[in-house]
Amino acid sequence: MRLLVLGSGGMLGRAVARDAARLGHDVVALERRDLDITDADHVERVVTAAEPGAVINCAAYTDVDGAETHEALALRVNGDGAGHVARAAAAAQARVVHVSTDYVFDGSSREPWVESDPVAPLQAYGRTKLAGEVAVAGANAEHAIVRTAWLFGAGGRNFVTTMIGLGEERDEVSVVTDQRGGPTWTGHLAPALVEIAERTGDVGVFHATGTGECSWYEFAVEIFDQAGIACRVVPTTSAQFARPATRPAYSALGTEREPGVFLPRWDRGLAAYLDEGKALAA
């Protein structure tokens, strides 16, 4: 199938473009400099010309704290831009796979959120991503909205690279215990997105994260353990570690779909990511 991957310069997009090609698809991968998804006319021209079977949209405004002060810009990309992509795909009779986030939930649950649970984002980023979900569903009947979370992978700054950087400079680092979620390796999510792109007719919202859940504190402990870095992790709370955007206290995702999307455990994803880094460095 011809797959058009948007946002292919980003952390997830590059993994999707690579894995789609590895899985035998004919891939057209576009970075932001090739196609700005806020330009509706350009999006329509490019999608029409590519004649894709499906479009996988990984392009987004992803600065969660920055969105607090730049919500209109974030909305143009995450809301309007997502709609332009879905509309252009519909006009080209292509399926759209759109990536969304656990931050559409308010964190008040104590068990994994499923696809039909009520959404109530706590911060600007989540509001703009939710606007994107609504725009995509309204613009293209053949849509898959895939919510994921806590991504880490090659080619992007993420919690793992941040912790390893800090761990190499300091003896201890404080990390919050009161936010729990599902870390997800892009190397596990990317082939699942390609598989979802192939599932013509299977439409709606999908949840896809690394199996299991943890707090950021537990994630940091596991990172140092697996990376062999001697750095003490000091438990702290969100109140003590204030940031511009409020994060949900609990955003682990489960699924009620049949068939659901199941990725390997998050700590196996971490091991694979660290191995990949060692292989690249070797």
| Positions in the binding site for ligand NAP (CB under 6 A) | 7, 9-13, 32, 36-38, 58-62, 77, 81, 99, 101, 129, 148-151, 156
Helix, strand, coil: what percent of the chain each, to 5? 40, 20, 40
CB-nearer residue toward ligand NAP: 125 or 172: 125
- Strands (E) in the chain, as ranges, are 2-6, 26-30, 54-57, 95-101, 143-148, 151-152, 172-176, 180-181, 184-185, 204-207, 214-215, 232-236
CB-nearer residue toward ligand NAP: 58 or 90: 58
Contact 65, 114 (CB under 8 A): no
Which residue number places its CB atom closest to ligand NAP?
A: 10
Question: Smallest gap, in angstroms, from Cβ of residue 171 to ligand NAP?
Answer: 27
Q: In sequence order, what DSSP letters do the residues of 184-245 get, joined into one string?
A: EEHHHHHHHHHHHHH-TT--EEEE---BS-EEHHHHHHHHHHHHT---EEEEE-TTTS--SS
CB-nearer residue toward ligand NAP: 153 or 167: 153
CB-nearer residue toward ligand NAP: 81 or 254: 81
Integer angstrom CA distances of residue 163 from 47, 160, 233: 39, 5, 10
- The type of residue at 190 is A
Judge whether 103 counts as a catalytic residue.
no
CB-nearer residue toward ligand NAP: 89 or 99: 99
Question: Smallest gap, in angstroms, from Cβ of residue 23 to ligand NAP?
Answer: 19
Contact 185, 210 (CB under 8 A): yes
Question: Smallest gap, in angstroms, from Cβ of residue 150 to ligand NAP?
Answer: 5
The catalytic residue among 61, 125, 250, 273 is 125
Question: Smallest gap, in angstroms, from Cβ of residue 231 to ligand NAP?
Answer: 22
Question: Smallest gap, in angstroms, from Cβ of residue 230 to ligand NAP?
Answer: 27
Only one residue has tokens 């964190």, namely 107
Which region holds residue 165: left if phi is over 0, alpha if psi is between -120 and 50, else beta?
Answer: alpha
Residue 98's φ and ψ, nearest 5 degrees, are -115, 130
Which positions are catalytic?
125
